[in-house]
Structure 1
Amino acid sequence: MRRQKEAKRLEEERRRQEEEKQRAEAAKRRAEEKRRREEAEKKKAEEKRRRLLERRREEFSLLGDSWEEESESTDSEQENRNIERLEKYKYFKGTRIKHSMNIPSEVRAKGEELYRQGQIEMKNILTGFDGHNGIRGQIDAAAKSGNMEFPVRIIFSRTAVSYAECKCPQCARDYYYWDTEKTKCPYKAGVLKMLEDYLETHSFGDATDMNGKALMKLYQERRTNLAIADAEAAKESLRFVPRLTRKEGKLSVSFKIGEKKLFIVKKLDTFCENVKNAATDTYGSNTQINHNPDNFTESGKGWIHFINQIVREEEEFLQRLQESNRSYYGYRKTTVGSSLALFGWRLDAFYDQMAEEAVEFEDKDGWEKRKETLTRVECNPGVSMRISEEKVGSGRVFHGIRVDGSLPDLYMGTDTGYYISGSQICRVEKEFLEKIEPLSLMTNDQGFSFHVGRNHMAEFYYRILPQLEDVVEVEETEPEKFRSYLPPDVRFVFYLDAGDQNVTCGVSAKYGDREFSSLDVISRQEYGQIEALRDAAREEEVLFHVMQWFPRIDWEREELHCGGDEELIYQVMESGTEKLMELGEVRCTKNFLKYRVVRPMKVSVGVSVSSGLLNLDISTDDIPQAELLDILASYRAKKKYYRLKDGSFMNLDDSSLNMLTEMMDAMHLTPKEFVQGKMHLPMYRTLYLDKMLEENDSVYSKRDSHFRKVVKGFKTVKDADFEEPESLSRIMRKYQKNGFKWLRTLEAWQFGGILADDMGLGKTLQVIAVLLAAKLEGKEGTSLVVAPASLIFNWGEEFRKYAPELNVSLITGTQEERKGIIDSYQEADVLVTSYDLLKRDVLFYEDKQFQYQIIDEAQYIKNHTTAAAKAVKVIQSQTRYALTGTPIENRLSELWSIFDYLMPGFLYGYDIFKREIESPVVKSSDEAAMTRLQKMAGPFILRRLKGDVLKDLPEKLEEHRYVRFGGTQQKLYDGQVLHMKEMLAKQSEAEFSKNKMLILAELTRLRQICCDPSLCFENYKGEAAKLEACLQLIQSAIDGGHRMLVFSQFTSMLDILKEKLTGLGISYYTITGSTSKEKRLQMVKEFNEGDVPVFLISLKAGGVGLNLTGADVVIHYDPWWNLAVQNQATDRAHRIGQTKKVTVYKLIAKGTIEEKIQKLQEKKKDLAEQVIGKETGQLGSLSREEIMELLGV
């Protein structure tokens, strides 16, 4: 049994070996067949190439002079020898490389057999350089063993193997450089044989070193660039040239197109369509021209634009014409042909497009056709005119003059004219054209000629010839004789009278001693009865002027009158009489003189101060109160005059009346209250009233000493007698000391004010100085500071640092603990609380009286309807201050809310403020309302910018970094935009207003996709372009030794950044809304004193109240609607104490809502600048149109 099994096993082994042998022989045959096929194909290709060359030699002759046969033979032999040498040259020595490896003969034989059997296949062969500039070759191959395939790589020098590796199971390790041991790998041996055969049949590699290769690459790139430039130039080689034609006195233009040969464009509308679609069309018999605009020269592109404008105009005209004629002639398609008529704006555009280019011109008028090449020039033509006697009959009687002259044909543009002279097309001056145009209309081929009879010589000589003499050379044959027939120049006399609520005017024309009624030119001209000596045209012209004021005619009395129209009577008195005096002599009766325009009324304003009130006394000279009320009412109705009781007129265009109404509006007094004389006003109107009186010289004002003292105190704040505490004198900068004095001046006159200094200028220190000075001066009372919750401990630190003498209590803890602190408030100098706690504890403050009340970051009460705004306004305090770098973020109502806290009633009630100031400014850009607000609020706002007061502060550089989405992120963004467009398209205005919160949520989603799609798509695994850009920027900044603040509105985005920074081994701090106040202070201190490179901060939570001068780079990851908020965040680093230049990077996703937000910020940032000074901005509630603009609709 065992023998049978053994025999069976041996039989199977023998059969397996036989099958392997057969497979090997089959592979060998296949390899041999493949080799023979390749050789056959190579011979076939060589034979084909040989036959092709022989046919070309036989069928193609040499263009130009042939070479000498001997020379050709000699050169050919030399070339063949060169080719033979090149073919024989081998840089790499295949046989030497093969034998450079110590491989046993049986292994080498096996490897070469594997190669011949096709078990080894070449994948790649190339040359390169090693680190010592040595020239190296590399061959990569794939070896097969059964079902397995593994790579083999050999690197070689000119004569030896440098490196060999094989991934077959037999290779225990890589072969690096020279291996002195015998290798057992047949696959390396097979690859070496393959390399030997390849190098034998191919010219592979040469001795060019790395520098040589680099040099050649540079020159190759240069040739490529030149070739590209040539190709681009060739693209723009398509010429498109105009041809100007004159025919039957009219100009037209046609065009030719082509490269070398030019073809007429027969249908210009079809041509425009071809250009629009970059289409190809046929010209001539078979010339194909592509109309891609890029193919045309720059000049050609200009002419295309010119044609497009005219073709559109022609098509619209032809369409209107065809529609109007369709009912008569039926429908007929209209087209624009090969030429365009030139006139009006077309001619202007043609001339402008010519520039320095010469244009072909064909003149088809006249006996012979003429061709020229025209260039353009600006000059007036020379015009001559000859005046001679008009001969009639025997010539004994003088009948008039004959005028002859010449003028080139003028072609009218829009405001100027053109003429062609020789090889130039000339544009004339506008003034020249205005004077010569009537003459040009009567000019023909023979020039112009006309006759002027004796009765019209006065009009010609007195009115027309003086205009022509400026532009025409005039020749008179008998000047003295001609002028002896001219009548005397006319003089006019106007007779003014009044009576029965009417004013009359008689008009006489005097010629020497003779006087005529000018109404004759109307009544008798029809019958030709005007005396020959009269200048009827001039008289008619003067009558036309006079009838502006006297439009009615009394034929019986031969005079003009106003028809009792009071408005016309006023115009006669105000300006008409002076105009008549310019035309001639004016005579009037005593009755007329009773009608007069009185001088502006004198207004006196007395101002005094007593018992904390402003006393105002208004008086006018000799005008009763009742009439003054009517005058003010007429002025408000925007009338030009007021008719006084005595019949005279008062001109209401008077600055004193303007000031009175402005004062009445500002003080919110009724006209009746105003004219009664004495009024009592709040003291805070002092500075506004002084400004008005100062700007109106027409109003007499008397200010008492107390009033002048208040005004002087504000005008000379820098010289005020308020001394800052000695302990702070060395610390405070000059501008901070001035701010301290300004705050004390406000207090002295019981005013409140806004300290609106730029972020980082030390508003806190200025207020602490005021509180400390009050204590040192012995003033009793407790002060209250209200700040955002995140800044309570910051205020505590600042008090400890700058005013340890003050007893400061921070209101924190439970409600019971807070109540205890508030109840014992008199034991402290200062209480510090937050807006949120003040809302909850407001009842605890009900009976408390504070010396100073300061609200920090006063924009927290910008909405006057909120509980926070109401809470701060019910606190009882003697002096109120507001601190904020952005008094206006979104709307003017925010400024009103702050002033309603500071000085209730100062900007009126909100309804009045909105109606009289906010709405006119926002909706109509009303300058008067804006000026009024500036004058009122300006004195109570102190704003200084860092650039103005901190000359030693390092500069701040801003840079926008744009990123572009990849495919997946772009698709998500586009999908969200499409969704929002469809949603908005379906909504009415009412639905939009109702669903606005939903729409803003969708906008937020759009912004999150820009930041990182994973913020709103939970399983998103694609790219996030901005995240990658931010991480690169952070790494680059760290490498450069910088430390940075990174702001984002989205705390979830900060979480993603934290995860990435942790993965990169970068340490960081983080502040969000959930970070406790104590932890904030600790981290800020550690960051400024340590070396942690990154601080991640939520824009809303950490954008204010932090001093982070340890950073010199600020990165805004995403743009926020409100530019002021971003600026506040930036100023956490760019502030006092900063010693390095601060660089601010704003990351923007290109082509997205983020770019649109930037533009919207710029569009809306000017409002606050107008009111309070410079550099602040806002983005208000978005309108439907603004949202559509953000989406690119």
Structure 2
Amino acid sequence: MAKENVIRSFVGNDAYYKGEDFPRFFVRYIGNVNEGELIHHHFRVASQHRTGFYDVIITVKDTKLLRKSCDCPQFDKAGTCKHVAASLINYYDDIIHDDYEISNDVLDLFLQENGDGSQERIKEQINLGLDFSFEDKKIYYKAKIGTKRLYALTKSKVDGFIKAYNNRENFEFGKTFTYEPDKHFFSKQDEKILDFLFSYNEGRSYGYYYYANNPLEMNDREFKSLLSLMNNKEFTINGYLDVLGVKEECPKIFKLSYDNDNYHVVLNNDTLILDNECKYIYDDKTLYLLPNNISRLLNVLKNKELKDLCFKEENMVKFKNGLLKEIKNNLIVEDSVKNFTIPKEKKTMVYFDIHEDHIVGMVKYNYDGVVIDRFDINNDIVRDLEFENQVVQDLARYNFELNDKEYILYDFDDVCDFLEGGIIEFSELYETFTSEKMQNTNILKKSRVETSFGIGKDGILNYEFKVGDVPSWEVSKILSSLKNKKKYYKLKSGDILKLDGNQELEELEKLNEDLELDEKMLSSGGVEIPKYRAFYLQTLKDEKYKNVKTNKLFDTFIKNFKKYQDADIKFSKQDEEMLRSYQKDGVKWLYTIYKCDFGGILADEMGLGKSFQTICFIKQVLKEKKDAKILVICPTSLVYNWKIEFDKYGENIKYLVLADNKKARHEALENSNNVNVFITSYGLVRNDFEDYEKKEFEVCVIDEAQTIKNYQADMTKCVKKIKAKTKIALSGTPLENSVLELWSIFDFIMPGYLNTLMKFREKYQVKDVDEKSLDILKNLNYQIKPFILRRLKRDVVKDLPDKIENIVYLDLPEVQKNLYKELVDDTKKRMDELIETKGYKSAQFEILALLLRLRQVCIDPTIIYDDYKSDNVKMDYLLDIVNSYVRDGHKILIFSTFKKAIDHVKKIFDDNSISNYVIDGSVKGKTRVQLVDAFNKDDTNCFLITLKAGGTGLNLTAADIVIHLDIWWNPQVENQATDRAHRIGQTKNVTVVKMVTKGTIEEKILDLQQKKKIVADNVMEGHSEQVLSKLSEKEMRDLLTMDMK
């Protein structure tokens, strides 16, 4: 298909005819982009009135036109336009390479006569001549066209020639030469030049290109663009200077000479400055485009009319440091100049040595074989100060400081950094020399660390460590440096040990930190460690330090302890029948703890029989030591519970309850040869401490061990001073509010195991629950895990009925709601006053007292206001559900923090004939036991209990409904209370009802409990529900926000 038809078919007839009106120089080919088999050709086409441009893209695949686009409005409407057509009409042959058509073109070019013998077909090349001139900061050019003789493209001819050239028509230049497209052609280079000349000034009409016979004007940017098209094309300047090449550089155009005691700098005679701005020079048939610095210099010389820059010897230094730096590469030094050399080669030499942990550097330069110290003065050689200063800048990057012609690196870390990497960089940049001492100083990046735990035949547990061949006293100093975040350590051998990123040393340091060993303890390379730490060491080895070695005795000891279930214990027939499998394991665990001279915490969940297991363990002790003295300490309310437990399970155990007056207790202790077990209360231990201080017990058991959580209390201090071979703590909640409570219990069972209180607090009392804190708590878990045995009901008693928890949200009635709001406003005001006068920390307990009033109003306004007679939502709801439960035959436990609330409930129940028992702080131990026994046997409906008085130690499995009137800060306390019913012996599902008033502090406490649910989970392996850490001021204020509709 003919080219014209192909284009018509692609763009449409209308676009094609309009495209024909565009001259070739209206269209500029920008370039192409290849995308696989596709080629995208980019054109820029001038608008018809030359007011702007449109971008055209034509996509070609093989020799076929595939797609087109243009950013003109017409293309958006019709999908085609004259700009696409104009691009194809003018450049079709350049973008479509049809081998058949090309072959024909070649044949046509070389055919001289056809068979008809009519027409010569050889084309003759037309030459394009250009001449440029520079005048008044402007550049002009003239164009000439012809074959042998060149004809000027004058104003009268330019318009016609452009039209003829674009339309491929003949054009007559003179009588002897006519341009004929069929006979003549321009070279590809000349075509590009013509396209540029006809289009670069597209904003003007053709008629303004010339005026009279004057040449065309162009600016500096356009001239340089044109020169980029004229590679190897000859042209002239000013009509007579032949130019054979163009270079963007400056030749040697200056000359330095010496005459009559003066130096002279002059411009080379052969150099011709072409323009007023000194941007172009002509020299040896070459046009030079000068760099800016040379142009500026020539301008200065020209403006000052200095044809000869003359100076004396004394100004030579100024010349070298100033002008010479600019022209040294463009300067010819004549023979008349003596002792003046511009070096051809130069290099920097740096010398390093070590003196007293400092690195000393010296710098020298080599100019053509002449070595010069940096601080030498040598006027004979032209020195390159910019080149010389580079090494100084590099030295400064490594913190070298100049001191009396030497560059010194003082800081030890900087010295080591330089030895490790800087010296290599300098060696790559400069010729570098180092002293023998420096070469022999090694940076050791890795360490051969060996660590081991072992038990000797003497039964002593040892921890040993080695770091290569480094003496042990130095290892401790290395680890101290590492702990203080030092990057390097200089060994006595002179080598330098890299600490930063040294994984082996970091692991050793962390291990020592986990073992809480200080520098003094480590100085010998080995440490004796209490045997009870063996389990912690084993856990560390298993979890974190896999490379630690252990000896056979150590492994055997760990293995035997972990297999406590295999302990050789024979139970009595009665105990064998009564003890569940997990309880037998518990007894064996206690016995193993005892035999290893350790202490332990039996932390089974409430209701799993901790007291029963303990009594069975005591039996085993008494089998071996019939005269052993064992002390059981418990809260006052549980003394008689223990008496009952010993009566029930402790057959043949001689026990004594120490609960009479002081004189009787004293005499009982003094005359106790026939007694094995003493049962007393925490308070009485404190009162009778002088008696206990003299005694030594085989075993001391404390029940409800959280009682000694306050490590500052006198009672706690007295209990901890009791002397016993083995100390056992019983607690369903060994950790309630703070890890410090756990420390206090461990300080009783194994003093010193968790270090001093100050160190423990510093390490483990975390404030925020984040990843780092969890790692810290995990480490604490590693330490306590071997000495805490904790089982949950769901894990060990598969047949224990379910515990079903229901949270009931109640809306405060209007009067009670208004009362609550008034109290909130008053609390906020008083809280602000307290914080302002005392500070938040000091005012915390007073603020908690204010919050207490808010909780009381939610539970029962009559606790605060005796004359309150209006609606009381919790009491009303309680009466409704209790009546319903009683009708269905359930027995109910009702708990509250506040005695006044319990008293009010009792009055309501008495008024409504609901039978009930009450336990509060005023009920004595014997009476408590009697009431519990009665409730479990008779048909009394309800048991009303204050949390503090009856939250622990009571066995009330007759009840299957537990109601909590109020929400306690720590749900552990609530759970303990609930477990009075949900425990061994319970045969029915237990329903737990918690009453929460919506939008009040009670709901906020529930939210807070959920947010604080993590600390104990990590310390106790997820078995505790949560721990309430101290409230921040923000959390305290959040409790006062209200969300009541």
Partner of 1:1191: 1040
Aligned residues: 685
SS at match of 1:1056: helix
SS at match of 1:730: helix
Report the Cα distance in structure 1 between the residues aligned to 2:396 and 2:796, rounded to whole angstroms: 61
Instruction: Name the CA shift for 1:610/1:868 in 2 (closer, same or farther; >3 Å).
Output: farther
Partner of 1:880: 727
Contact in 2 for aligned 1:943/1:1173 (Cα 8 Å): no
SS at match of 1:1147: strand
Report the Cα distance in structure 2 between the residues aligned to 1:453 and 1:834, rounded to whole angstroms: 111
1:899 and 2:746 aligned: yes
Contact in 2 for aligned 1:607/1:703 (Cα 8 Å): yes
Q: 1:325-336 residue pairs with structure 2 within 5 A?
A: none
Offset from partner CA, 1:957-1009 (integer Å, 9 cap, x none):
11110111111111111111010111122232625555544433322221111
Partner of 1:773: 620
Partner of 2:862: 1014
Partner of 1:1128: 976
1:908 and 2:718 aligned: no
Instruction: Name the CA shift for 1:565/1:1179 in 2 (closer, same or farther; >3 Å).
Output: closer
Corresponding residue to 1:1166 among 982, 1003, 1014: 1014
Partner of 2:692: 845
Report the Cα distance in structure 1 between the residues aligned to 2:461 and 2:730, rounded to whole angstroms: 28
Partner of 2:523: 675
1:986 and 2:833 aligned: yes
Corresponding residue to 1:1099 among 947, 950, 956: 947
Instruction: Name the CA shift for 1:601/1:1082 in 2 (closer, same or farther; >3 Å).
Output: same
* TM score, norm. by length of structure 1: 0.52
1:1086 and 2:934 aligned: yes
How far off is 1:719 after superposition? 2.5
- Letter of the 2:707 counterpart: Y
Corresponding residue to 2:449 among 602, 622, 638: 602
Offset from partner CA, 1:59-82 (integer Å, 9 cap, x none):
xxxxxxxxxxxxxxxxxxxxxxxx
Instruction: Name the CA shift for 1:567/1:677 in 2 (closer, same or farther; >3 Å).
Output: closer
Partner of 1:1178: 1027
How far off is 1:1118 after superposition? 0.6
Normalized per residue, the structure richer in helix is 1
SS at match of 1:1148: strand
Offset from partner CA, 1:1052-1071 (integer Å, 9 cap, x none):
11121112222222212221
Q: 1:921-936 residue pairs with structure 2 within 5 A?
A: 926-936=773-783
How far off is 1:799 after superposition? 1.2
How far off is 1:756 after superposition? 1.0
Q: 1:13-24 residue pairs with structure 2 within 5 A?
A: none
SS at match of 1:854: strand
Corresponding residue to 1:1036 among 884, 893, 897: 884
- Letter of the 1:1184 counterpart: E
Report the Cα distance in structure 1 between the residues aligned to 2:972 and 2:960, rounded to whole angstroms: 20
Higher relative contact order (CA 8 A, sep 6+): 2
How far off is 1:453 after superposition? 13
- Letter of the 2:782 counterpart: K
Instruction: Name the CA shift for 1:734/1:921 in 2 (closer, same or farther; >3 Å).
Output: farther
- Letter of the 1:712 counterpart: K
- Letter of the 2:982 counterpart: H
Offset from partner CA, 1:747-800 (integer Å, 9 cap, x none):
111110111111111111111111012223344312110011111111111111
Partner of 1:870: 717
Report the Cα distance in structure 1 between the residues aligned to 2:675 and 2:772, rounded to whole angstroms: 48
Instruction: Name the CA shift for 1:606/1:963 in 2 (closer, same or farther; >3 Å).
Output: closer
Contact in 2 for aligned 1:502/1:565 (Cα 8 Å): no
Structure 2: state its 5+ residue gaps: 1-70, 78-93, 98-127, 131-186, 196-227, 232-348, 362-390
Report the Cα distance in structure 1 between the residues aligned to 2:425 and 2:965, rounded to whole angstroms: 69
SS at match of 1:951: coil
- Letter of the 1:718 counterpart: Q
RMSD, aligned α-carbons: 4.5
Structure 1 range deviating more: 927-936 or 873-882: 927-936
- Letter of the 2:664 counterpart: E
1:1108 and 2:956 aligned: yes
SS at match of 2:601: strand
Offset from partner CA, 1:885-920 (integer Å, 9 cap, x none):
111112221111111111111122212222233257
Partner of 1:233: none
Offset from partner CA, 1:8-63 (integer Å, 9 cap, x none):
xxxxxxxxxxxxxxxxxxxxxxxxxxxxxxxxxxxxxxxxxxxxxxxxxxxxxxxx
Q: 1:66-215 residue pairs with structure 2 within 5 A?
A: none
SS at match of 1:1144: strand
Offset from partner CA, 1:579-638 (integer Å, 9 cap, x none):
999x99x99999898565433133343533466643444444321345324311221122
Structure 1: state its 5+ residue gaps: 1-364, 372-385, 403-450, 455-494, 505-542, 555-560
How far off is 1:668 after superposition? 4.7
Contact in 2 for aligned 1:1013/1:1020 (Cα 8 Å): yes
Instruction: Name the CA shift for 1:627/1:1147 in 2 (closer, same or farther; >3 Å).
Output: same
Offset from partner CA, 1:853-902 (integer Å, 9 cap, x none):
00000011001111221121122211100001111112221111111111
Instruction: Name the CA shift for 1:813/1:575 in 2 (closer, same or farther; >3 Å).
Output: same
Corresponding residue to 2:632 among 785, 789, 795: 785
Partner of 1:1150: 998
SS at match of 2:701: strand
Corresponding residue to 1:762 among 588, 606, 609: 609
Contact in 2 for aligned 1:1121/1:1161 (Cα 8 Å): yes
SS at match of 2:765: helix
How far off is 1:572 after superposition? 7.8
Instruction: Name the CA shift for 1:713/1:980 in 2 (closer, same or farther; >3 Å).
Output: same
Percent identical residues: 36
- Letter of the 1:1007 counterpart: R
- Letter of the 1:1189 counterpart: D
- Letter of the 1:1129 counterpart: A
Contact in 1 for aligned 2:399/2:414 (Cα 8 Å): no
SS at match of 2:710: coil
Contact in 2 for aligned 1:1167/1:1177 (Cα 8 Å): yes
Partner of 2:897: 1049
- Letter of the 2:1016 counterpart: A
SS at match of 2:480: helix
- Letter of the 1:754 counterpart: I
SS at match of 1:825: coil
Q: Which has the larger radius of gyration?
A: 2
* TM score, norm. by length of structure 2: 0.59
Instruction: Name the CA shift for 1:992/1:918 in 2 (closer, same or farther; >3 Å).
Output: closer
Contact in 2 for aligned 1:656/1:699 (Cα 8 Å): no
Instruction: Name the CA shift for 1:982/1:751 in 2 (closer, same or farther; >3 Å).
Output: same
Instruction: Name the CA shift for 1:1112/1:387 in 2 (closer, same or farther; >3 Å).
Output: farther
Instruction: Name the CA shift for 1:398/1:771 in 2 (closer, same or farther; >3 Å).
Output: farther
Corresponding residue to 1:832 among 659, 674, 679: 679
Report the Cα distance in structure 2 between the residues aligned to 1:588 and 1:1112, rounded to whole angstroms: 90
- Letter of the 2:1037 counterpart: M
- Letter of the 2:583 counterpart: Q
Instruction: Name the CA shift for 1:453/1:1062 in 2 (closer, same or farther; >3 Å).
Output: farther
Contact in 1 for aligned 2:891/2:958 (Cα 8 Å): yes
Report the Cα distance in structure 2 between the residues aligned to 1:901 and 1:870, rounded to whole angstroms: 9
Partner of 1:202: none
Report the Cα distance in structure 2 between the residues aligned to 1:589 and 1:1026, rounded to whole angstroms: 88
- Letter of the 1:1186 counterpart: E
Contact in 2 for aligned 1:1044/1:1113 (Cα 8 Å): yes
Partner of 1:711: 558
SS at match of 2:673: helix
1:918 and 2:765 aligned: yes
Report the Cα distance in structure 2 between the residues aligned to 1:1029 and 1:945, rounded to whole angstroms: 33
Contact in 1 for aligned 2:401/2:409 (Cα 8 Å): no
Instruction: Name the CA shift for 1:889/1:1173 in 2 (closer, same or farther; >3 Å).
Output: same
- Letter of the 2:923 counterpart: T
- Letter of the 1:1157 counterpart: I
Instruction: Name the CA shift for 1:702/1:1140 in 2 (closer, same or farther; >3 Å).
Output: closer
Instruction: Name the CA shift for 1:1083/1:579 in 2 (closer, same or farther; >3 Å).
Output: farther
Instruction: Name the CA shift for 1:874/1:1187 in 2 (closer, same or farther; >3 Å).
Output: same
